[in-house]
Structure 1
């Protein structure tokens, strides 16, 4: 996906966004704790999200996943609490890929029409739509009740007498029945509430491999026991039962990849997931976030992503991936547009925010990723990570401001915000399944700081504190600047190490770099220290003065976040300097006039 401007993704947990109920009872029912609906994303709400500087909304938890709620009146079977996490269920245990979560609809019988209306409303508000596809696993009881004509269900034609066959959709444990894991820490489904299906038994014969790869009929409690693994033609010994891509395909475009697979026999699961993706793009979905993409072979991604791009060349394809050694394979061979930049940038920034790391470490990260940096999506929060404001992370949302400036401006890559991050949500609720510090994705819950911004559907921040309003204003200024800045699609050079060696009072709690294009030159400097101010003459190396074609003299600088700084750049005999006085956690984005 070629971009000449910045992409900003707003990840929203769809079930939680519009919920105004503040009860927050652990393991509370939908009636007790409330729920958000598709319809809560009104034009007003979408305009406010757009106004934050957002270009794409990732609606998390859309495909119909297992839930503990009786929808039998709508032809949906009841799910068993013994193999469901939480009461509202994990969005990553999909039960039917050809429909949407009935919880999210005002009228569950019209749930697909309501989601289609949301796609249309999102587009009318000039935003793109991203949803999840979870290719590695499906819910333990998958039931495709809404398959298009001619599409068979997962496992419908499987030979269940063998562990593996190339065109089986699942892996089996012949001769053994599934057994519910032994619970830990006095865990009880639904918090111990009586339920007709909560009996420690789940019928599955023969047992299937579990989502994370466990081959035990009784998986461990810490395994992804609510899911079963999909077979992509990887034999139990790890060898591949399909043709591999020749290495020169690293340089080929998606059209060449599509041609390569056109007349080849591929495992049945590949076809099923390609059909699923194209079903959603035909409905107007603009892209996908692929869960745990590296657990699925890269050849499958070449096959699927090239098919998506043939239909939708501008589709946004984002992979959750945590192995840096595989990054280039998934971009070049797998044809991903973007990958999670967690293991390198996020983890390093988290260490710095927690006072355990140095900004010096940022230099080698950007150097190491320089050939693929435009493909690395940056974030400071998502549904898997601890909330910055939680005591388990940083205890205060403002501590992330320098990291946010850096993540949003250091390269061409997209920036992602998780709903509530912009108002300092701490994820403090005990929702039921799981522990506080992350906003629950398993239970019905209200999100307090976000609810104060939502202000009973006004979406005007009417109940926010002054500090929360200021934080949202900061994100709004930052993101709106990034989506319009030509320099952020251009060149990068760090000036941190030069200043570390040559500037008095400069230290490793400050970080600086420059970004430039033909139309814009930026000097970006940020103070990660939450207690100390720093003042010094920041210097630009002679090589930068040459690259920018600057003659000796005085240049006006405009600060692009708040515009309050009165600074000048002085160039003398090929050396450049600017006086910088940074408050704790303050950043300057200086544009050379």
Structure 2
């Protein structure tokens, strides 16, 4: 939670029809398996659940639910889910499902009113969870039946051939957490805390004894609800004693830039950093989740550990297939070993994705913490973003793959998510088309999963002034419409009926690319950088181009892409002898066909064990060349 061209020789219609015939006939159950039985790449489609189905285009800053509208669980119809699946998606991450603090009044459903002084925006942050055993009432047609409506969505998603992910936010909860739907025997967070001390191993929170919480001092013209009068927007929030804030701020009056709407969870780490729980033995990073699970049996752990493990297992029992763990690096890695091993014992195929931004921690959270996947933000995403913006070099990309080669399968790739600027926003690239070469690289350079944020595939620029925060990313705090996505949604026909020609072409590109990735055995096979070799040996090959080879026993690929938005790139790509030897190619001429649009081909000429291929790329064009 950080507050953080192809020139086509055929008509789009003809090419799209050919593409549809090719991919829609693939069996749902087998599309994510290679011919050898190895799991293929996965694609996660992140949807901001309350925004996805909203057809209201009013977009008034700080608008209410009634003014600006809100999407519902039921908006994910069979048709909507089919279109998402056909995009090349294997998992849907429904963001904002657990019940969190909102300003909308749901007191008639037994939910207490939230205070605007400790809620960001009007719709609230999905990362300020108020009740982990309930779901957001905004998302239900009948808030009284909100859990049943979400359970029906889980079933529909599974029937559509996809798996379900939701968020769990172990580091912090809403300032006004109220577990009103706890299963029998589950104690509420903080209900047994000793609030007379700053820290106790089994306290769920940290406290400032005898000090009252104070609302932040607002600056920079900010006022809750944009200054609108509200009976609870009085600059006060009753909390005695004050709890530490979610980002670790210890003052009883946090800064307005702190995560003031949340409180920090205590995992048995004292204020001076001492760990009051068992640490994993040396070498345990090499043990499997079953061994980790056995290690924690009969061991005494802090109360917060069992509370969050129970929460995760509750959702697994509901049919949720995995989780995205918010700010996992702020929680001890030993806890992740404890909880993730318990999850895997219940569902060995659970998809566990964590937000970790410090590369020196990656291997601990994967190997000791038993995470399946981490965000590859500070290396690949940040580097590609610089290239897309025109002030970075593709020379910086291959070293990332080399640095992460032992864990590359675990590093999920993305270009957009709810925390990041939209590609098409002026603050990022200013053009959705500039995301095309980056998306090819992000989706094909490793065996890791790919994440796509809803609206990315139609070039949503995130330009709306929703209220809390500034445009450039789609707001996660307010009720708002997402215009490019709404045009594709077309009054819930989900057929692109109002999309522009450019939006349709972009979505066609994403559909082609993502479907290829989940059906390709080479993309979970071997990788060899070709970029540095060609930078040293090939005339006219520059640092706006990137190339590499991917292969399996039955599929051989050369991927080459042009990040330059203005210039063509024409050169004779050199393929080193070690690749040709590994591919077991004799001297001769071999056909290579582009698998992205299937309207370009070239010849790989092998002479004396080395090879070359003539390449001509339009601006922002990419080829995924397959050896025939």
TM-score calculated relative to the size of structure 1: 0.99
Alpha-carbon distance, 1:63 to partner: 0.1
Match of 2:166 in 1: 131
Distance (whole Å) between structure 1 residues aligned to residue 563 and residue 492 of structure 2: 35
The residue correspondences of 1:43-122 to structure 2 (distance < 5 A) are 43-122=78-157
Match of 1:338 in 2: 373
Match of 2:616 in 1: 581
Counting matched residue pairs gives: 593
Distance (whole Å) between structure 1 residues aligned to residue 86 and residue 286 of structure 2: 38
Distance (whole Å) between structure 1 residues aligned to residue 572 and residue 96 of structure 2: 49
Alpha-carbon distance, 1:575 to partner: 1.4
Match of 2:269 in 1: 234
Which segment is superposed worse, 559-568 or 259-268?
559-568
Match of 1:559 in 2: 594
2:313 to 257, 267, 278: 278
Match of 1:473 in 2: 508
SS of equivalent residue, structure 1 residue 501: helix
Cα deviations by residue, 1:32-61 (Å, 9 ceiling, x for unpaired): 000000000000000000000000000000
SS of equivalent residue, structure 2 residue 250: coil
1:394 to 414, 429, 442: 429
Distance (whole Å) between structure 2 residues aligned to residue 588 and residue 186 of structure 1: 49
Distance (whole Å) between structure 1 residues aligned to residue 485 and residue 134 of structure 2: 28
Alpha-carbon distance, 1:363 to partner: 1.4
1:502 to 515, 527, 537: 537
Distance (whole Å) between structure 2 residues aligned to residue 454 and residue 184 of structure 1: 39
Distance (whole Å) between structure 1 residues aligned to residue 282 and residue 404 of structure 2: 21
The residue correspondences of 1:178-577 to structure 2 (distance < 5 A) are 178-577=213-612
Alpha-carbon distance, 1:513 to partner: 0.2
Alpha-carbon distance, 1:221 to partner: 0.7
Q: CA RMSD in A?
A: 0.9
Distance (whole Å) between structure 2 residues aligned to residue 153 and residue 163 of structure 1: 19
Structure 2 unaligned runs (5+)? 1-31
Cα deviations by residue, 1:228-262 (Å, 9 ceiling, x for unpaired): 00000000001101010012111100000000001
Distance (whole Å) between structure 1 residues aligned to residue 256 and residue 111 of structure 2: 27
SS of equivalent residue, structure 2 residue 134: strand
Distance (whole Å) between structure 1 residues aligned to residue 169 and residue 328 of structure 2: 8
The residue correspondences of 1:146-185 to structure 2 (distance < 5 A) are 146-185=181-220
Alpha-carbon distance, 1:566 to partner: 2.5
Distance (whole Å) between structure 2 residues aligned to residue 374 and residue 390 of structure 1: 30
Distance (whole Å) between structure 2 residues aligned to residue 320 and residue 527 of structure 1: 30
Distance (whole Å) between structure 1 residues aligned to residue 38 and residue 431 of structure 2: 34
Alpha-carbon distance, 1:3 to partner: 6.0
SS of equivalent residue, structure 2 residue 66: helix
Alpha-carbon distance, 1:536 to partner: 1.0
Cα deviations by residue, 1:345-378 (Å, 9 ceiling, x for unpaired): 0000000011111000011110000000000000
Alignment partner of 1:29 is 2:68: no
Distance (whole Å) between structure 2 residues aligned to residue 21 and residue 315 of structure 1: 35
Distance (whole Å) between structure 2 residues aligned to residue 534 and residue 95 of structure 1: 53
Structure 1 unaligned runs (5+)? none
SS of equivalent residue, structure 1 residue 186: coil
Distance (whole Å) between structure 1 residues aligned to residue 536 and residue 378 of structure 2: 28
Alpha-carbon distance, 1:441 to partner: 0.4
Which stretches of structure 1, 4 residues or more, deviate above 6 A after TM superposition?
Answer: none
